[in-house]
Amino acid sequence: MLLEVEALNLDLPTPTGPARIVREATFGLDLGGTLGVVGESGSGKTMTALAIMGLLPEGARISGKLRFEGYDLAALDEEEWRHLRGNRIAMIFQEPMTALNPLQTIGRQIAEGMVLHRGLSRSAALAEAATLLERVGLPDPARRVRSYPYELSGGQRQRAMIAMALGCAPKLIIADEPTTALDVTVQAQILDLLARLREETGMALILVSHDLAVIAENCERVIVMYGGMVMESGPTRDVLERPAHPYTRALLAARPQLGATRGGKLRTIPGVAPPAGEAPAGCAFAGRCPLTIEACAAAMPPALALGPDRYARCIRLDEAERTQ
């Protein structure tokens, strides 16, 4: 297994004391596999991704098991992290507008990682940057190497970001909402590009998104996060077609449907998500779930196995099944 996360807890410091942002998250990813992480804002999905990169904010504390290629990530020092980042694990960010340094050429930013990790000379790295830009489908790569970010469109910048991530042929790419800031058509192109590159290189992909459709099309496996908890996990098709957890069910029911009656109301989940870090002792969904009983809020529900590699954290799964 390429990546193993077991019982990951993550606390961030706040003025009122540490807040638990991720609770008992457990998931894994095989070599070359694809994992979708879906959840609302504040569900802890980005922080989970940053934990895998060792890029958590100042003062964050984690416990639990984090293993990548057999290494215990929690035991790495900063020097070892830097060797890993950009080299074995790379990240693609949400805002291609802000994730590139406005004062450096695209080529230089792509070349940097290769100079750093692969020991290439600057000119060799720049030449390879042009090849990478060609691979990510940017027209006129030889000229684009010398372009500044402001000369590129949003989709082109995201392609450049992907080229940056590919530079050292990482084993794992974490894409945090890579298409959220882009137009729908560009979004599809970027996702196609990621899928094609994954086939070519055999790298694994973690796709963080709030968009179920994006996950459904691009990921073999999915974890559904809410309030810092992994509510449900399993093969994407299973989870989306036969959701077990009341939260997953509610989330799927709230999707806008093509061909729904005109003027019909979109279904919503009553209540609001708890602010990050303020989840109750028990299930984070307890307050909003129609099936809540006293025991839900009292203690963290256990992860119940529903099949091979399929889990849900809920003590009311039977009732959820019946009321569906």
Partner 1 sequence: MTDQTFLSRARANPSFLWGAALVGLIIFAAALSTIWTPYPPEAIDIPHKLLPPSSTHWLGTDQLGHDVASQLLAGARVSILVGVIAVGIGVLFGVALGLAAASAKGLIEDAIMRLSDFAFAFPALLLAIMLTAIFGPGVVNAIIAIGIFNVPVFAKVTRAAANGVLTREYVLAARAAGKGPVAIAIEHVLPNIASTLIVQATIQFAIAVLAEVALSYLGLGAQPPLASWGRMLSEAQRLLFQAPRLAVFPGLAVVLAVLGLNLLGDGLRDLLDPRLRARR
Q: Contact residues for partner 1 (CB under 8 A)?
A: 53, 55, 58, 82-87, 90-91, 93-95, 98-104, 112-113, 116-117, 150, 161, 164
Nearer to partner 1, 109 or 233 (CB): 109
- What does the DSSP 8-state code read for residue 145? T
Q: How far is it, in rounded angstroms, from Cα 215 to Cα 240? A: 10
Q: Which is nearer to partner 1, 162 or 239 (CB)?
A: 162
Minimum separation from the CB atom of position 302 to partner 1 (A): 34
Beta strand 89-92 pairing with 172-176: parallel
Residue 235: both structure tokens together = 């093969």
Min CB(158)–partner 1 separation in Å: 12
Pairing mode of beta strands 303-307, 310-313:
antiparallel
Distance in Å, CB of 12 to partner 1, minimum: 15
Other C-beta atoms lying within 10 Å of the C-beta of residue 63: 12
The answer to whether 43 touches 273, Cβ cutoff 8 Å, is yes
CA distance 6 to 60: 18
Is the Cβ of residue 87 or residue 233 nearer to partner 1 in the bound state?
87
Render 4-61 in DSSP notation, one character per residue.
EEEEEEEEE--TTS-EEEEEEEEEEE-TT-EEEEEE-TTSSHHHHHHHHHT-PPTT-E
What's the closest the beta carbon of residue 86 comes to partner 1, in angstroms?
4
Q: What six digits make up the tokens of 162?
A: 């992907």
Residue type, 139: P
Q: C-beta of 89: minimal distance to partner 1 in Å? A: 8
The distance of closest approach from Cβ of residue 21 to partner 1 in the complex, given in angstroms and rounded to an integer, is 17
Closer residue to partner 1, CB minimum distance, 122 or 267: 122
3-state secondary structure of 26: strand
CB 48 within 8 A of CB 82: no
- Dihedral sign (CA 220, 225, 228, 233): negative
Q: With respect to partner 1, which residue has the nearer C-beta, 60 or 298?
A: 60
Nearer Cβ to partner 1 (181/320) = 181
Q: Which is nearer to partner 1, 23 or 85 (CB)?
A: 85
* Among 222, 40, 301, CA closest to 318: 301
Judged by beta carbon, residue 85 or residue 313, the one nearer partner 1 is 85
The minimum distance between CB 173 and partner 1, in angstroms, equals: 11
CB nearer partner 1, residue 37 or residue 231: 37
CB 173 within 8 A of CB 165: yes
The DSSP bridge pattern shows strands 221-226 and 310-313 to be unpaired
How near is the Cβ of 298 to partner 1 at its closest, in Å? 38
Distance CA 248, CA 110 (A): 39
Closest contact distance (angstroms) between CB of 288 and partner 1 is 32
